[in-house]
Amino acid sequence: MKTVTCTAPVNIAVIKYWGKRDTGLILPTNDSLSVTLSQDILHSKTTISAAKEYSHDRLWLNGKEEDITKNKRMHNCFRETRALRQQLEQDAAQRGETLEPLSSYHVHVCSENNFPTAAGLASSASGLAALVFTLAKLFDLTNNMSELSRIARQGSGSACRSLFGGFVAWEMGSKDDGSDSLAVQVAPETHWPELEALICVVSDEKKGTSSTEGMQHTVNTSPLLQHRIKEVVPVRMAEMKKAIHERDFQTFAALTMKDSNQFHAVCLDTYPPIFYLNDTSRAIMKIVHEYNATSPDGKLKAAYTYDAGPNAVIYAPKENMREIIQLIAHYFPGSADNYFVDPYKLFTSTQDL
Ligand code: PMV
């Protein structure tokens, strides 16, 4: 029996992934780019043990056992990591060595998030990244993070970006088998220490339309999505990478807000429409624009972005954060649930329990 525990961080996209060209392999219709947040506040922590005695694969999520018999995505991750482990075992056998046949054992997975699950706070990203990273450690896999990201992608698309810290692109790739659809680090977590993120938890309720369901409705019905995929995202990806490399907050902020707005416009363009934002989300957008308008030199001081839920993430230089928190606290008194988070690196810890 072997047991390993790891944690993985949340990532919040600034160029959004929305739409799959292959739903089985989870291949996206466009590139995307995200910032990985500090694990100190938001993370998924996963413990996995493999044992000869286990009769089937089991999962406990936030202390409650889940039925995973029909969970294809988890099984994708099990299958792919076991195949890599099996290869290691076969290679070792050829050298006359014996590795414990972990690839043939069933696993027990115990995972918990220290933040609301499925409320648009990217719990699937950190959860599936933690699953794949912990399996890789359990099986002593030597594959690099981009290779592991290909597996995490098959658990949940955005999970592939949570295997890296800092600024991370998910390249959509062009191959039908998905072998070139993976995450790469654009810049490390140390690259832009002045940039910080404030997470405003507007609602911690489970979202009404899952991203899987929502995306496919959009792909099937939104003409705006086609424009976004072909004309908008390729240009924005190039501009965003340049802005990150140059630590150019003006371009970063404008692109981040425009891309979030277009993602939600695409949701509205879906028929019937999908709504993820609520009145509080829209009020926060207004506050950020009004705050930016107070800038004497016309420079942007903060940028909002929203995933598939009403919660706001505000990116801003550290020097503006205190003011932003005061503003939010002024308009939403008692909002004790605001998390103040540094974009930070992937921290991993492995331990035998
Ligand atoms: O990976 P999923 O299926 O949870 O989809 C995530 C989609 C967004 O969060 C809205 C955008 C993104 O790029 O993370």
pLDDT tens per residue across span 193-205: 999 998 888 876 7
263: amino acid identity, one letter = F
Q: Name the pTM for this structure.
A: 0.94
Indicate which residue's Cα is closest to atom 10 of ligand 1.
307
- Distance of CA 78 from the midpoint of ligand 1 (Å): 22
Residue 349 lies in a domain: no
Q: Is the ipTM above a cut-off of 0.90? A: yes
pLDDT at 121: 72
**How far apart (Å, rounded) are the C-alpha atoms in residues 23 and 209?**
17
- Distance of CA 294 from the midpoint of ligand 1 (Å): 32
CB 132 within 8 A of CB 151: yes
What is the helix (H) or strand (E) element at residue 84, kind and residue range?
helix 72-94
SS3 content of the chain, % helix, strand, coil (to 5): 40, 20, 35
CB 161 within 8 A of CB 14: no
Strands 58-61 and 106-113: parallel
Note whether 199 and 175 are same-domain residues: no
Note whether 218 and 78 are same-domain residues: no
CB 168 within 8 A of CB 183: yes
- Percent of the residues in the chain that have a pLDDT greater than 90, as a whole number: 81
Note whether 230 and 144 are same-domain residues: no
Tens digits of residue pLDDT in 26-60:
999 999 999 999 887 789 999 999 999 999 999 99
Tokens representing 265 are 């416009």
Tokens representing 234 are 């390729």
Q: Is the peptide bond before 272 cis (omega within 30 degrees of 0)?
A: yes
Number of domains in the chain: 2
Q: Is 30 in the pocket of ligand 1 (CB under 6 A)?
A: no
Note whether 244 and 305 are same-domain residues: yes
Note whether 59 and 27 are same-domain residues: yes
Q: Is 169 in the pocket of ligand 1 (CB under 6 A)?
A: no
Half-sphere exposure at residue 257, Cβ-oriented, CA atoms within 13 angstroms: 22
Q: Is 156 in the pocket of ligand 1 (CB under 6 A)?
A: yes
Tokens representing 314 are 């505000």
Note whether 44 and 162 are same-domain residues: yes
- Distance of CA 36 from the midpoint of ligand 1 (Å): 13
Note whether 25 and 134 are same-domain residues: yes
**How far apart (Å, rounded) are the C-alpha atoms in residues 123 and 112?**
10
Note whether 44 and 22 are same-domain residues: yes
Q: Is 149 in the pocket of ligand 1 (CB under 6 A)?
A: no
Residue 181 lies in a domain: yes
